[in-house]
C-alpha cells in the first residue's frame, strides 16, 4: 500500500494471486521511472550545456569506452534477470492450484459465459463463489477463442475450443468484481461481460442449494429457463426490439425471408434446425454468427424451448 | 545510361562496374532468395512435424496409401533433371550453345514427366475420395484401412506440400523455356550465362525439397 | 590505418569533387512525365513513390484511428455500429502494420538513401525494386477488394477459428493481399543484402559502413528469414478458408494455437523490421547534429544484428495466456529480457554521443530527442509485459495497446519523421519551414502522450482492447485519449502543409545543409541520376567530424559519368576485398 503507482491498478481482492504481480508491477515502474528521469535529465542537460555555439565548433573524438559499455549492459541485465525470476515465480503460483480448490465449470461462447456447479446449478454471466476459499474455474469454448479476465484478481487465461484451460483465485472480501472477455470474438465482444459475486461461505451454500437440481417445471417454464441460461437473449429480444438476431416476439408461424431469397414459415422443424445448425437457413438481413448447438442441447430441451417460443407474442 | 563502350559490354547493366560484379550480385541475390524458399517450405515442414508428433500412427498408416513406386520414379526423374541442368550450365561455360539447348530441353521434358506422374497420382487419390479437409470422402475400402479420425489432415498436408512443390516445378519449366528461347537467340555465351546459372540454382532447390518430401511422406514406417 | 588506405588511394589518383550548389541535371529533371516515373528503375524515384504510397496509407489509417477514438468518446454507441467499429480497428491495424510500418523506412527512405550511402549508382536489382513497388500496389488492391466484398473484422492478427468463421470472402481477399505484400518486402530485403555486399564504393569497408546501412542490413536479414513463414501461414489460412484443410480449425481437428505460433514467428520479428531501420536513422541524425563521432560504433552496429537474431526467438511472449506449454512460456519470457539489453545499449550509446558535442536543435534532432523519450517508455513497458505474472494481468488490455503505440509510433514513426526532415533537402532540393516544423514536432509530442499515457492507466486497471463498449469508470481516460488523438491529427496536417508547400515555394536547399560527413550529402541536392557524377572514394569513417570536409568529397580522378572510367574502379574494389 502507498506505492507511487497504486493509482494504476484496480483493488487487489485476491491477495494469493495478486500480491506477487502487484509487487513486481510496482518494482518495474519505480526502477523504470528512475531510469527515465535519468535519461530525460541527461538529454535536457546535454542539449543546453552543449548547444552549438558556432558552425566551427570542434568536438572531441570519443569513439567508445568499454567500461561504460559493460556497465550499461550488465546492470540492466542483472535487473531484468531479477524481473524474470520474480515474474516466473509469480506465474508458477498462478499455475499451481491449491489442492482444496472448489471447482466450477465455465463455458464461453459468443457472447456469454455459462457457469456450472457440482450440484447441477447453472448461471449465466454470474459467477457465485464463497469467500476465503480457493476457486478453480475450468473453462472451455463452444466456438472461437475467448479469454477469461478478472482484473481484481489479476488472473486471465484464453478459452480455447477443443481443450480445457483454467484459472484459480481466492477472494478475500464479499462483493462483486467484473469479468471481461479479452480475446476478440466478434460483434458483441465488448458486451461479453460477467461478474463474480463473492458470498460469505454459509450464504454461498444456501445459494447453491436453492439453485441446485437443474431446470424444473412445466415444458414452457423449462424452455424459458433454458433460453435465459443459454444467453439467447443476448442476440434475440423478446420485446420485438432489433438485436443481432431476429426477435423472438411473434416468431411462431411467422413467415421469414431467407438470405437466399426463399421464405419459410417458422415451425418446429425450422426452429430445431436453426438451433442445431444455425448457418443452414439464415434470415435475410442477419449475419451467420450464431454458434451451432449440435450436441449441446438434448431433443427434450429443444422441444421445451419450442414450447416457450410459441408463447412469446 | 547511354554511352556504353567496348569495355562495358551490352549485357552489363548500367549500375554495375563490370560483368563479374553483376554475376556475383545475381548469384548472391539468388542464394538469398533460396534461403527464403527454404524458410517458406520450413513452415510446412514444421506443420508436418507437429502433426506427426501428435498422431504418429496416422502418418505411418496413411503413408501406405501413397504409391512408393511412382514416388520413387519421380525422385529419379528429378535427380536426373538436376544433372542435366548442371550439364546445361557447363555447356554454357564452355560456350557450347547447342549443348546448352539440348540439356535445357531434356530438363524441361523430365520436369514434365514428373508433373504427369504427379497428375496421375492425384487423380487416383481423388477418385478414391482421398481429398483434403472437409472434402474427405473415402470409398468404403479406403475408409476401412484409413480409420483414423484425423486422416484428412494428413492428406491436407500431403496435398499442400506436394501441390506447392508442383507449382515450383511448373515455374521452373517456364523459366527454362524462357532460357531455351533466349539461348536460341544467342543471348548466352561463356561471357554471360548468369540467368542459366541462377535458374540452375533454383532448380537444384526444387529437386532438394522433393528429396525431403519423398521419404517424409511416402517412406515412413 | 586510414593513412595507409589514403596512400593506396592516392596512387589511384583520387581528387576532390565538390558538389555543385546549382545542379542543372538531377534525377528529377532526367526523366519526366508520369510514364517515365511509372517505369523508372531509379531507386530514388521508386523510394519517393513508396513514400507517397506510405503517406497515403498513413493518412487513411490515421483517419480511421481518429474515427475509432471519436467512437470511444462515450461508453456506448457514439456514432458507429459495433460491426463497423470492429472492421475499422482491424483495417487500422492491418494498414498501419503491413502498408505503413513495414515498408515505411526501408522501402521509402532506405531505397533513396542506401545506394547513396554506399556510393552505388543503384540497388543491385533495379527492376526487382520496381516490381516490389507494383507488388505492394497489388497487395493494396486485394485489400480494397476485401473491403468491397463485405470487409473483415478479425483484428490484424487473423486468429483462427474466428477468422475461418467470419465473413470468409473478405478474410480471403485480405489475407491474399498480405501474402502478396510479403513478396514486396522479401524483394526489398534481398535487394538490400546484395547491394550492401556487392555494390560498395571503393574504400567502404565494413567498419566504414554508416550505421543506417548496418540497421538496414539487419532489417533485410529479418525480412528475408521471417516473411516467407508469414507467407506460408497466410497461405495455409487461405486454404483453411477455401478448402477447409483443417490444420488450424479445431472443428476440423486442427489446432488454433499452432496458428498463433506461426503467425507470431513472423509478426514478432516484423516488429524489428519496423523499428531497427528507425535505429539507423537515429544514429545518423544524432551524429550530424552533435557534429561528433558516434559513440560506440560497433556496439550500435552489432546490437542491431543481435536484435535481429534474438528477435527470432521470442515470438511466444505474445502467447503467455494462450495455453502454450509451460516450458515454452518460461523460455520465451527469459529470451524476451535478453532482447531488451541490446536495445538499452543503443539508447545509452546515443546519449553518450551527445556528451561534449555541438548540439544543434534542428527539427530532425528534435525528433530524435522525442524518440529517445518515447521509445524509452516503450522499452520499459516492454519489460513490464515480458514479466510473466504481470503479463497475465496486462495481456490484451489497453496497456498493450499503449505499449506498442509507444514503440511503433513513438519509435518507428518518430524516427521516420526525423529521417524525412533530415533527408528532405537531399530528396527534393528544397528546405521546409523550420518554425512550423518545430511547432508540429512539439504538438506531436504533446498529442502523442495525451493519447497514449492514459491508455497505460486504464489498461492496468483492466480495460480490454478491441472493445466497442466499455464500462463507465474508464470514460475520463478515453476522453483524454480522444482529445490527444485530435491534437496528433492537427500536427500531421501541419506537417503535410509545410512539406507540400516547400515543394512549390521552399527555399533552395544547399547540397549539404547540415554539414554532415555522410556520403549521401556529398552529392548535389537533389542528386544526379547516377547519384554522383564521379565514382566516390571513401577514406574516412562516416562520422569522422574531426577531419576536414575535403576528405569526404573524394572520387576517382579519372572518373566522370561515363562508364569507361568506372571500369578502373572495379579493380580497386576487388583488391580491397581481397586484402
Burial (CB count <10 Å: 0-12, 13-18, 19+), residue C508: exposed
Nearest to C125 by CA among C47, C182, C38, C194: C194
ipTM score: 0.90
Contact A161, A190 (CB under 8 A): no
| Residues C549-552: contacts with CB under 8 Å, at least 24 apart | C549/C515, C549/C517, C550/C16, C552/C517, C552/C519, C552/C522
Q: What are the residues facing A256 on neighbouring strands?
A: A264
Joined together, the cell numbers standing for residue B133 give 479437409
Query: Given this model, what pLDDT does residue B7 score?
Result: 52
Chain B residues near residue C250 by CB distance under 8 angstroms: none
Contact state of C562 with B3 under an 8 Å Cβ cutoff: yes
Tens of pLDDT, residue by residue over B12-22, are 888 888 888 88
For an interface test with A, give the residue of C393, C410, C467 to mutate (most A CBs within 10 A): C393
Three-class DSSP category at B103: helix
C5: pLDDT confidence band, cut at 50, 70 and 90? Answer: low
Three-class DSSP category at A122: strand
How far apart CA A72 and CA A35 sit, in angstroms, is 11
Backbone angles phi, psi at A171, to 5 degrees: -75, 135
**Contact residues, A window 241-300, toward C, CB-based 8 Å cutoff:** 287, 289
Contact state of C395 with A9 under an 8 Å Cβ cutoff: no
∠ Cα C456 C460 C462 (to 5°): 120
Chain A residues near residue C388 by CB distance under 8 angstroms: 84, 87-88, 90-91
How far apart CA A166 and CA A158 sit, in angstroms, is 9
Three-class DSSP category at B186: coil
Report the residue of chain A nearest C392, measured CA to CA: A156
Contact state of C246 with B153 under an 8 Å Cβ cutoff: yes
∠ Cα C498 C503 C506 (to 5°): 70
Query: Given this model, what pLDDT does residue B8 score?
Result: 64
How far apart CA C429 and CA C26 sit, in angstroms, is 10
Query: Given this model, what pLDDT does residue C199 score?
Result: 93
∠ Cα C461 C462 C463 (to 5°): 110
Q: How far is A129 from chain C (nearest CA, A)?
A: 21
Tens of pLDDT, residue by residue over C437-451, are 999 999 999 999 999
Residue C75 confidence (pLDDT) above 90: yes
Contact C298, C436 (CB under 8 A): no
List, in order, residues 6 or more apart from C316 with CB less than 8 Å away: C261, C264, C324, C328, C329, C331, C332
Burial (CB count <10 Å: 0-12, 13-18, 19+), residue A101: middle
A1: pLDDT confidence band, cut at 50, 70 and 90? Answer: low
Tens of pLDDT, residue by residue over A257-303, are 888 888 888 888 888 888 888 888 888 888 888 878 877 788 888 88
**Contact residues, A window 154-213, toward C, CB-based 8 Å cutoff:** 154-158, 160-163, 165, 178, 180-191, 193
How far apart CA C357 and CA C155 sit, in angstroms, is 46
Residue % of chain C over a pLDDT of 70: 94
Tens of pLDDT, residue by residue over A225-255, are 888 888 888 888 888 888 888 888 888 888 8
Nearest to A198 by CA among A117, A104, A131: A131
Q: Which of A189-198, C157-166, C509-518 shows the lowest per-residue confidence on average (mean pLDDT)? A: C157-166
Concatenating the DSSP letter of every residue in A154-179 gives TEEEEE-BTS-EEEEE---S-EEEEE
Contact state of B133 with C246 under an 8 Å Cβ cutoff: yes
Tens of pLDDT, residue by residue over A109-168, are 988 999 999 888 889 999 999 999 999 999 999 889 999 999 999 999 999 998 899 999
Tens of pLDDT, residue by residue over B56-80, are 888 888 888 888 889 899 999 999 9
Q: Cell numbers 531507386 correspond to what residue?
A: C43
Three-class DSSP category at B19: helix
Contact A14, A169 (CB under 8 A): yes
Chain A residues near residue C466 by CB distance under 8 angstroms: 184, 189-190
Interface contacts (A, C; CB < 8 Å): 263
Interface contacts (B, C; CB < 8 Å): 144
- Facing C563 at nearest CB: one of B3, B42, B50: B3
Nearest to C125 by CA among C186, C178, C182, C213: C186
Q: Are strands C507-508 and A135-141 parallel, antiparallel or unpaired?
A: unpaired
Nearest to C55 by CA among C111, C108, C113: C108
DSSP state at residue A103: E
Query: Given this model, what pLDDT does residue C499 score?
Result: 96
CA atoms within 13 A on the CB side of A11: 8
Q: Cell numbers 484409413 correspond to what residue?
A: B146
Query: Given this model, what pLDDT does residue C166 score?
Result: 63
Residue C518 confidence (pLDDT) above 50: yes
Mean pLDDT of chain C: 90
**Mean pLDDT computed over C197-204:** 92
Query: Given this model, what pLDDT does residue C559 score?
Result: 60
**Mean pLDDT computed over B134-139:** 78
**Contact residues, B window 21-40, toward C, CB-based 8 Å cutoff:** 21, 24-26, 28-29, 32-33, 35-37, 39-40
How far apart CA A209 and CA B36 sit, in angstroms, is 63
Three-class DSSP category at B173: helix
List, in order, residues 6 or more apart from B83 with CB less than 8 Å away: none
Residue % of chain B over a pLDDT of 70: 96
Q: Are strands A146-150 and A175-181 parallel, antiparallel or unpaired?
A: antiparallel
Residue C564 confidence (pLDDT) above 60: no
Joined together, the cell numbers standing for residue A4 give 507511487
pTM of the model: 0.90
Chain B residues near residue C247 by CB distance under 8 angstroms: 47, 51, 153, 156-157
Report the residue of chain C nearest A5, measured CA to CA: C457
Q: How far is A133 from chain C (nearest CA, A)?
A: 21
- Facing B156 at nearest CB: one of C189, C246, C265: C246
**Is the CB of residue C261 less than 8 Å away from at least one CB of chain A?**
no
Chain A residues near residue C337 by CB distance under 8 angstroms: 80-81, 83-84
Q: How far is C259 from chain B (nearest CA, A)?
A: 10
Query: Given this model, what pLDDT does residue C441 score?
Result: 97
Nearest to C371 by CA among C311, C414, C335: C414
How far apart CA A31 and CA C241 sit, in angstroms, is 47
Q: Cell numbers 555541438 correspond to what residue?
A: C358
Contact B101, B184 (CB under 8 A): yes
Query: Given this model, what pLDDT does residue B137 score?
Result: 79
**Mean pLDDT computed over B166-170:** 95
Contact C569, B17 (CB under 8 A): yes
Q: What are the residues facing A167 on neighbouring strands?
A: A137
**Mean pLDDT computed over C248-261:** 85
DSSP state at residue C356: T
Tens of pLDDT, residue by residue over A32-51, are 999 999 999 999 999 999 99
Nearest to A246 by CA among A182, A179, A166, A309: A309
Residue C558 confidence (pLDDT) above 60: yes
Tens of pLDDT, residue by residue over C386-411, are 999 999 999 999 999 999 999 999 99
Contact A117, A212 (CB under 8 A): yes
Q: Which of A56-70, A201-215, B35-49, C139-153 shows the lowest per-residue confidence on average (mean pLDDT)? A: A201-215
How far apart CA A77 and CA A79 sit, in angstroms, is 5
Three-class DSSP category at C268: helix
Report the residue of chain B nearest C262, measured CA to CA: B43
Helix/strand/coil (H/E/C) assignment for every residue in C510-535: CCCCCCCCCHHHCCCCCCECCECCCC
Contact state of B17 with C194 under an 8 Å Cβ cutoff: no
Amino acid at each position: 500500500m502507498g506505492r507511487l503507482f497504486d493509482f494504476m491498478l484496480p483493488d487487489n481482492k485476491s491477495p494469493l494471486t495478486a500480491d506477487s504481480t502487484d509487487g513486481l508491477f510496482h518494482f518495474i515502474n519505480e526502477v523504470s521511472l528512475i531510469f527515465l528521469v535519468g535519461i530525460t535529465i541527461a538529454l535536457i542537460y546535454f542539449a543546453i550545456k552543449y548547444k552549438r555555439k558556432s558552425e566551427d565548433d570542434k568536438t572531441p573524438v570519443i569513439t567508445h569506452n568499454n567500461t561504460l559499455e559493460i556497465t550499461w549492459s550488465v546492470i540492466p541485465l542483472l535487473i531484468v534477470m531479477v524481473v524474470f525470476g520474480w515474474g516466473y515465480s509469480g506465474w508458477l503460483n498462478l499455475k499451481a492450484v491449491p489442492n482444496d480448490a472448489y471447482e466450477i465449470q465455465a463455458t464461453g461462447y459468443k457472447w456469454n459465459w455459462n457457469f456450472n456447479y457440482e450440484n447441477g446449478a447453472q448461471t449465466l454471466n454470474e459467477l457465485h463463489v464463497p469467500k476465503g476459499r480457493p476457486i478453480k474455474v475450468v473453462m472451455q469454448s463452444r466456438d472461437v477463442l475467448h479469454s477469461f479476465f478478472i482484473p481484481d484478481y489479476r488472473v486471465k487465461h484464453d478459452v480455447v475450443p477443443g481443450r480445457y484451460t483454467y484459472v484459480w483465485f481466492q477472494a478475500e472480501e464479499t462483493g462483486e468484481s467484473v469479468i471481461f472477455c479479452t480475446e476478440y470474438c466478434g460483434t458483441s465482444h465488448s458486451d461479453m461481460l460477467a461478474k463474480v459475486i463473492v458470498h460469505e461461505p454459509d450464504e454461498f451454500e444456501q445459494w447453491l442449494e436453492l439453485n441446485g437440481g437443474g431446470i424444473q417445471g412445466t415444458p414452457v417454464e423449462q424452455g424459458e429457463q433454458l433460453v435465459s441460461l443459454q444467453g439467447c437473449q443476448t442476440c434475440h429480444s423478446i420485446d420485438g426490439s432489433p438485436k443481432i438476431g431476429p426477435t423472438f416476439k411473434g416468431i411462431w408461424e411467422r413467415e421469414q425471408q431467407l438470405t437466399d431469397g426463399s421464405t419459410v414459415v417458422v415451425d418446429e422443424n425450422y426452429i430445431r434446425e436453426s438451433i442445431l445448425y444455425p448457418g443452414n437457413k439464415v434470415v435475410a438481413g442477419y449475419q451467420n454468427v450464431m454458434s451451432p448447438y449440435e450436441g449441446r442441447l438434448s431433443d427434450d430441451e429443444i422441444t421445451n424451448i419450442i414450447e416457450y417460443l410459441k408463447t412469446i407474442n | 545510361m547511354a554511352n556504353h563502350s567496348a569495355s562495358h559490354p551490352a549485357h552489363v547493366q548500367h549500375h554495375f562496374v563490370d560483368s563479374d560484379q553483376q554475376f556475383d550480385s545475381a548469384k548472391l541475390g539468388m542464394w538469398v532468395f533460396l534461403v527464403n524458399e527454404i524458410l517458406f517450405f520450413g513452415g510446412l515442414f514444421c506443420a508436418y512435424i507437429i502433426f506427426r508428433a501428435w498422431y504418429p500412427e496416422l502418418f505411418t498408416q496413411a503413408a501406405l496409401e501413397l504409391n512408393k513406386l511412382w514416388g520413387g520414379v519421380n525422385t529419379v526423374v528429378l535427380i536426373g533433371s538436376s544433372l542435366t541442368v548442371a550439364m546445361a550450365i557447363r555447356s554454357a561455360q564452355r560456350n557450347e550453345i547447342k549443348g546448352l539447348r539440348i540439356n535445357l530441353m531434356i530438363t524441361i521434358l523430365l520436369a514434365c514427366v514428373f508433373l504427369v506422374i504427379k497428375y496421375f497420382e492425384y487423380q487416383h487419390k481423388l477418385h478414391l475420395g482421398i481429398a483434403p479437409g472437409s472434402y474427405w470422402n473415402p470409398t468404403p475400402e479406403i475408409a476401412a484401412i484409413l480409420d483414423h479420425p484425423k486422416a484428412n489432415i494428413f492428406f491436407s498436408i500431403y496435398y499442400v506440400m506436394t501441390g506447392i512443390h508442383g507449382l515450383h516445378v511448373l515455374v521452373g519449366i517456364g523459366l527454362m523455356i524462357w532460357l531455351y528461347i533466349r539461348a536460341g537467340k544467342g543471348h548466352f555465351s561463356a561471357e554471360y550465362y548468369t540467368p542459366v546459372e541462377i535458374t540452375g540454382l533454383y532448380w537444384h532447390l526444387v529437386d532438394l525439397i522433393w528429396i525431403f518430401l519423398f521419404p517424409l511422406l511416402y517412406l515412413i514406417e | 590505418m586510414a593513412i595507409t588506405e589514403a596512400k593506396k588511394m592516392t596512387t589511384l589518383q583520387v581528387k576532390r569533387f565538390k558538389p555543385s550548389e546549382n545542379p542543372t541535371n538531377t534525377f528529377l529533371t532526367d526523366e519526366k512525365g508520369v510514364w517515365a516515373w511509372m517505369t523508372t528503375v531509379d531507386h530514388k524515384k521508386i523510394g519517393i513513390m513508396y513514400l507517397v504510397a506510405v503517406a497515403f496509407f498513413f493518412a487513411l489509417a490515421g483517419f480511421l484511428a481518429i474515427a475509432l477514438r471519436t467512437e470511444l468518446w462515450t461508453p456506448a454507441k457514439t456514432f458507429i455500429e459495433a460491426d463497423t467499429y470492429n472492421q475499422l480497428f482491424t483495417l487500422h491495424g492491418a494498414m498501419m502494420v503491413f502498408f505503413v510500418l513495414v515498408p515505411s523506412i526501408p522501402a521509402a527512405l532506405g531505397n533513396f538513401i542506401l545506394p547513396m550511402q554506399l556510393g552505388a549508382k543503384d540497388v543491385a536489382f533495379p527492376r526487382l525494386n520496381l516490381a516490389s513497388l507494383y507488388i505492394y500496389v497489388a497487395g493494396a488492391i486485394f485489400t480494397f477488394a476485401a473491403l468491397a466484398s463485405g470487409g473483415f473484422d478479425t483484428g490484424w492478427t487473423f486468429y483462427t477459428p474466428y477468422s475461418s468463421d467470419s465473413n470468409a470472402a473478405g478474410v480471403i481477399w485480405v489475407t491474399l493481399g498480405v501474402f502478396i505484400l510479403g513478396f514486396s518486402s522479401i524483394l526489398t530485403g534481398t535487394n538490400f543484402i546484395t547491394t550492401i555486399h556487392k555494390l560498395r564504393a571503393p574504400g567502404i569497408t565494413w567498419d566504414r559502413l554508416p550505421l543506417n546501412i548496418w540497421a538496414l542490413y539487419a532489417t533485410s536479414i529479418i525480412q528475408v528469414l521471417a516473411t516467407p513463414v508469414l507467407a506460408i501461414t497466410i497461405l495455409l489460412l487461405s486454404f483453411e478458408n477455401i478448402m477447409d484443410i483443417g490444420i488450424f480449425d479445431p472443428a476440423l481437428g486442427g489446432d488454433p494455437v499452432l496458428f498463433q505460433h506461426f503467425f507470431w514467428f513472423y509478426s514478432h520479428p516484423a516488429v524489428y523490421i519496423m523499428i531497427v531501420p528507425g535505429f539507423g536513422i537515429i544514429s545518423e541524425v544524432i551524429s550530424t547534429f552533435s557534429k561528433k563521432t558516434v559513440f560506440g560504433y560497433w556496439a550500435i552496429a552489432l546490437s542491431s544484428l543481435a536484435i535481429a537474431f534474438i528477435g527470432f526467438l521470442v515470438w511466444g511472449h505474445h502467447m503467455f495466456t494462450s495455453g502454450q506449454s509451460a516450458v515454452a512460456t518460461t523460455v520465451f519470457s527469459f529470451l524476451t529480457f535478453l532482447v531488451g539489453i541490446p536495445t538499452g545499449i543503443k539508447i545509452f550509446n546515443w546519449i553518450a554521443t551527445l556528451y561534449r558535442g555541438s548540439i544543434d536543435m534542428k527539427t530532425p534532432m528534435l525528433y530524435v530527442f522525442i524518440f529517445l523519450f518515447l521509445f524509452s517508455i516503450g522499452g520499459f513497458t516492454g519489460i513490464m509485459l515480458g514479466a510473466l505474472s504481470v503479463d497475465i494481468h496486462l495481456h490484451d488490455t489497453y496497456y498493450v495497446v499503449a505499449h506498442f503505440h509507444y514503440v511503433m509510433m513513438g519509435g518507428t514513426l518518430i524516427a521516420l519523421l526525423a529521417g524525412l526532415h533530415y533527408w528532405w533537402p537531399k530528396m527534393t532540393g528544397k528546405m521546409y519551414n523550420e518554425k512550423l516544423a518545430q511547432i508540429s514536432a512539439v504538438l506531436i509530442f504533446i498529442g502523442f502522450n495525451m493519447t497514449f499515457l492514459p491508455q497505460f492507466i486504464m489498461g492496468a486497471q483492466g480495460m480490454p482492447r478491441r472493445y466497442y463498449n466499455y464500462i463507465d469508470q474508464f470514460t475520463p481516460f478515453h476522453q483524454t485519449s480522444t482529445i490527444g488523438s485530435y491534437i496528433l491529427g492537427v500536427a500531421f496536417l501541419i506537417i503535410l502543409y509545410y512539406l507540400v508547400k516547400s515543394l512549390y515555394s521552399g527555399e533552395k536547399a544547399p547540397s549539404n545543409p547540415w554539414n554532415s560527413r555522410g556520403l549521401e550529402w556529398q552529392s548535389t541536392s537533389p542528386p544526379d541520376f547516377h547519384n554522383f557524377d564521379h565514382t566516390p572514394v571513401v577514406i574516412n569513417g562516416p562520422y569522422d567530424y574531426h577531419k576536414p570536409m575535403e576528405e569526404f568529397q573524394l572520387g576517382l580522378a579519372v572518373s566522370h559519368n561515363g562508364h569507361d572510367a568506372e571500369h578502373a574502379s572495379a579493380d580497386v574494389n576487388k583488391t580491397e576485398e581481397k586484402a
